[in-house]
Amino acid sequence: MTILSWRVGLAAAVLAFAGHAAAQPATPRQQDSARQQVQQELVQPFNNAPVWRDVRSGPPGFTQVGAPSEQGVLIQSRGETWRQVRVPVSLIGGLLIALAMVSLGGFYAIRGPIPGGESGSKMMIQRFRAADRYAHWTMAIVWVTLAVTGLILTFGKTLLIPVLGHDLYSWLAVAVKNIHNFIGPILIVGVLWMIIRYLPYNWFNKEDFVWLTKIVGNLTGHEYPSGKFNGGEKLVFWFVVVLFTPVLIASGLILNFPNFGQTRATMQTFSIIHMALAYVAIAMACVHIYLGTIGQKGAYRAMRDGYVTAEWAKHHHELWYNDVKAGKVPESPMVSEAAVPEPVRRAVQLAVK
Mean pLDDT of successive 10-residue stretches along the chain, which has 353 residues: 48 48 58 72 71 67 60 74 91 95 92 73 85 94 95 91 90 94 93 95 93 80 86 94 95 88 87 95 94 88 89 90 89 78 58 49
Residues 154 and 95 in one domain: yes
Amino acid (1-letter code) at residue 61: G
Residues 229 and 100 in one domain: yes
pTM equals: 0.77
Residues 191 and 163 in one domain: yes
Q: Indicate whether 238 belongs to any domain.
A: yes
Residues 172 and 103 in one domain: yes
Q: What is the pLDDT of residue 22?
A: 43
- Domains held by the chain: number: 2
Q: Indicate whether 342 belongs to any domain.
A: no
Residues 145 and 291 in one domain: yes
Q: What is the pLDDT of residue 287?
A: 92
Q: What is the pLDDT of residue 171?
A: 93
| Best CA proximity match to 260, nearest among 66, 72, 64 | 66
d(CA 133, CA 143): 15
Q: Residue 256's domain spans which residues?
A: 79-111+131-297
Residues 37 and 150 in one domain: no
Question: What 8-state DSSP symbol labels residue 223?
Answer: P
Q: Indicate whether 66 belongs to any domain.
A: no
d(CA 319, CA 326): 11
Q: Indicate whether 196 belongs to any domain.
A: yes
Q: The CATH number of the domain where 225 resides is what?
A: 1.20.950.20
Q: What angle do CA 207, 208, 211 make, to 5 degrees?
A: 90
Amino acid (1-letter code) at residue 82: W
Q: What is the pLDDT of residue 101?
A: 95
The secondary structure of 203-216 as a DSSP string is: ---HHHHHHHHTHH
Q: Indicate whether 329 belongs to any domain.
A: no
Residues 234 and 99 in one domain: yes
